[in-house]
């Protein structure tokens, strides 16, 4: 089924003894790609489902997928306001679907991604984001690495804070449409800060992925 950028699927695994576990995973691919879809799963070390997907699942295995789900945390290329995307960790996944959709649809609205990761190795889609940014003057990508940075790192090196958000958001003006996704604490802190820098609450859409994310 065709999805909208930002939607997710519920994935259900069933063991031979009938035990079931279900988690939500955002769709990473753009709606324009029909007939298949990508999900991107971060391995949570003590996690039940994400470790199974990384360590046990092999091509040819069957899983149950229910979706696409969600009508609020979605972006369509026809929405032509400047786009402000803010992610922590795997929270970048639904935002990547939006960025890929924006590129596939040839949308011209200015868009900025501010993406917080722990270290350089943890950045998801780094190369693809670099390529998309190089090909599109309307797309800006800002990274912040909170725990460790390579020696020649030129991006931000701290948790997302009001000064950082101002630097990224202000050039887009106040009519931005903002999407914030990631660990619960990050999402709440960012959404509150966006309000204090003058972005109205009806312009801010949020999605929470996990308890804290550290
Ligand atoms: C709408 C939605 C979309 C999502 N999309 C994605 C996605 O695209 N990619 C993705 O990797 N995850 C995504 N998640 C998170 C995902 O659903 C699972 O919560 C995650 O994979 C952990 O499941 P688990 O079974 O491995 O861990 P669990 O066994 O459920 O939990 C193990 C431990 O990890 C902690 N934990 C649980 N979730 C997280 C988390 N997200 N970050 C840090 N710690 C956590 C728990 O508190 C617990 O201590 C999404 C969640 C929602 C609600």
pLDDT in tens, 90-147: 999 999 999 999 999 999 999 999 999 999 999 999 999 999 999 999 999 999 999 9
Q: Whose CA is nearest to atom 51 of ligand 1?
A: 209
CA of 171 to the centre of ligand 1 (A): 33
Q: Whose CA is nearest to atom 20 of ligand 1?
A: 50
CA of 13 to the centre of ligand 1 (A): 15
pLDDT in tens, 27-75: 999 999 999 999 999 999 999 999 999 999 999 999 999 999 999 999 9
- Partner residues linked to 19 by β-bridges: none
Q: Whose CA is nearest to atom 27 of ligand 1?
A: 47
212: confidence class by pLDDT, cuts 50, 70, 90: low
- Can you read off the two tokens belonging to residue 60? 């040819």
Output the CA–CA distances (angstroms, integers) from residue 16 to 66, 87, 88, 126, in the order listed: 20, 37, 35, 38
49 Cα nearest atom in ligand 1? 25
């Amino acid at each position: 089924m065709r999805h909208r950028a930002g939607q997710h699927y519920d994935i259900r695994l069933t063991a031979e003894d009938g035990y079931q576990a279900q988690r939500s995973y955002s769709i990473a691919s753009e709606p324009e790609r029909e007939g298949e879809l990508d999900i991107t799963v971060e391995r949570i070390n003590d996690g039940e489902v994400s470790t199974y997907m990384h360590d046990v699942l092999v091509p040819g295995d069957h899983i149950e997928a229910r979706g696409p789900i969600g009508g609020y945390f979605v972006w369509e290329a026809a929405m032509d306001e400047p786009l402000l995307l803010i992610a922590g960790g795997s929270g970048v996944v639904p935002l990547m679907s939006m960025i890929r959709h924006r590129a596939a649809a040839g949308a011209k609205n200015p868009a900025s991604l501010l993406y917080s990761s722990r270290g350089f190795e943890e950045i998801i889609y780094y190369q693809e984001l670099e390529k998309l940014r190089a090909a599109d003057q309307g797309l800006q990508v800002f990274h912040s690495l909170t725990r460790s940075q390579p020696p020649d790192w030129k991006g931000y090196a701290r948790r997302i804070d009001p000064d950082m958000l101002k630097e990224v958001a202000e050039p887009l003006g106040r009519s931005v449409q903002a999407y914030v996704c990631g660990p619960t604490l990050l999402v709440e802190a960012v959404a509150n800060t966006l309000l204090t820098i003058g972005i109205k609450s009806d312009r801010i859409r949020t999605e929470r992925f996990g308890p804290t994310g550290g």
